[in-house]
Amino acid sequence: MFTVSIDKECGCFKRSDYQNNKSFESKDEALLNAKDMVEDMNENFCQKHSFVLSEDGKSFNITMSLKPQEDSGCCGGGHCS
């Protein structure tokens, strides 16, 4: 069995139809599912996070991290608006 798992379930993941720790009979099926998930989550989730796929033997792990905030050029002093 091959497993696709996500390390942290953000709100978008919890609201989606995706399942964590989903098992597959074949490595190819698991890999295709994991790649599709990562692509969809990076394109269609709220854009606060980014998702990266890695392989560890019989497991495909999707790691979530915060996207860096874009610099607006404002110093935060309250005079830029």
Say how many domains are in the chain: 1
pLDDT of residue 68: 78
Name which of 35, 9, 36, 39 is nearest 21 in CA terms.
9
* Rg of the chain taking only CA atoms, in angstroms: 17
Q: Is the pLDDT of residue 80 over 80?
A: no
pLDDT of residue 15: 95
Question: pTM of the predicted model, to two decimals?
Answer: 0.80
Q: Is the pLDDT of residue 21 over 70?
A: yes
**Residue ranges making up the domain that contains 37:** 2-66
Asked if residue 54 is part of any domain, the answer here is yes
Residue % of the chain over a pLDDT of 70: 84
Mean of all residue pLDDT scores within the chain = 90
Give the Cα-Cα-Cα angle 4, 10, 16 (nearest 5 degrees): 70
Asked if residue 75 is part of any domain, the answer here is no
Which helix (H) or strand (E) segment holds residue 49: the answer is strand 49-56
